[in-house]
Homo-oligomer: A and B are copies of this chain.
């Protein structure tokens, strides 16, 4: 059975160091999960992901349901085999993706109907069948279907989202208990707290979901367009009502500084496309801030990508070469940038874990946040 153990706590913030054990694999928290929407962390091989240090990645149920579909995934005995990944996989349910399909989807009490953006076919995801799909995927951590409105939605929209998310969570929980997986492994089911940035709704959502006594709680509906300060206030509030002895997963966050600030607020798990997507646009995360390698000032700059980093990419390639690869549209450039950024994110989480362990986290994090340039010298 999955276990979560808190190994150390920061005395000045809610930050904590933990170990999450699932299917005989240990995840050190706080942890960042690289995003592999379609069963591939873009541009990289599975062994490269694990060489960086990652043993937990995210894939997307909605996208894998559409392509390649569950027949192929059943034949391959799950996503781990399909993509040849030996680590753990968390699968997002697709609530966020479906809600974004404005005009193509219909949210009903029984689930979310939508038209495939690929084939035009009609599909329906329900609290129950997203579990079936994730059973086939063999996800180690399955996310419940939720309703995820945007951060600038109305309170009424948020309230409806909370109500339906709660209803779906109860149905999902019942269904989950009555079914088994395909691969003789544990598959955790995680509810998602909604409520926008409204304290009353967040409390309402959490209090209902806590009754399910799940092993992990996710904070959804943030980093979806609301002001940064309101996001942080909402997470700070969640910290006061979510159980301390269970991992909290803040979905879709974020920048290096976002990660530090939310670890302070007691968040244990993160995922975000930022290190991988921004890499493909030329944005590299360096020790003192981001840069955009397409900027002409790197044309003849033969220094390592990040002089303060031991990243394999930094010690192998120069800024000038990477600039050249981006200018000539060489795919190798996307790989180098992606591997570099995922290395940076992994090392950042590792550093946070060390600083929490030595109870130096607040001092360290204050200094890092003060010194970190938040903006690239060129927009992505």
- CB-based contact B335/A45 at 8 Å: yes
Q: How many residues of A contact B (CB 8 A)?
A: 34
* Given A67-B327, A331-B334, residue A320 in contact with residue B43 (CB < 8 A): no
Q: CB within 8 Å of B: which of A67-101?
A: 67-68, 71-72, 75-76, 82-84
CB pair A43–B316 under 8 Å, yes or no, is no
Interface pair A72/B299, CB less than 8 Å apart: yes
Could you tell me if A76 and B40 are in contact, using CB atoms closer than 8 angstroms?
no
| Cβ-defined contact, A332 with B299, below 8 A | no
Q: Which residues of B contact A72 (CB under 8 A)?
A: 299-300, 320, 324
Which B residues lie within 8 Å of A316 (CB)?
45, 84
A203 to chain B, nearest CB (A): 40
Minimum Cβ distance to chain B for residue A268 (Å): 29
Task: Judge if A55 is at the interface, Cβ distance under 8 Å.
Answer: no
- Is the beta-carbon distance between B75 and A40 smaller than 8 angstroms? no
Contacts of A75 in B (CB 8 A): 300, 302, 320
Judged by a CB distance under 8 angstroms, whether A44 is at the interface is yes
B321 pairs with A331, CB closer than 8 A: no
User: Hey, which chain B residues are within 8 Å of A330, CB to CB?
Assistant: 38, 40, 42
A39 CB–B CB distance under 8 Å:
yes
Closest residue on chain B to residue A37 by CB atoms: B328
Instruction: Please determine whether B335 and A331 come into contact, CB atoms closer than 8 angstroms.
Output: yes
Q: A344 → chain B, closest Cβ, in Å?
A: 18
Answer whether residue A4 sits at the interface, using C-beta atoms and an 8 A cutoff: no
- How far, in Å, is A327 (CB) from chain B's closest CB? 6
Contacts of A67 in B (CB 8 A): 324, 327-328
Q: Which residues of B contact A257 (CB under 8 A)?
A: none
Task: Tell me which of B83, B320, B321, B324 contacts A321 (CB under 8 A).
Answer: B83
Asked whether A84 lies within 8 Å of B317 as measured between CB atoms, the reply is yes
Given known A45-B332, A316-B84, contact A299–B40 (CB-CB < 8 A): no
A99 to chain B, nearest CB (A): 22
Q: Which residues of A contact B (CB under 8 A)?
A: 38-40, 42-45, 67-68, 71-72, 75-76, 82-84, 299-300, 302, 316-318, 320-321, 323-325, 327-328, 330-332, 334-335
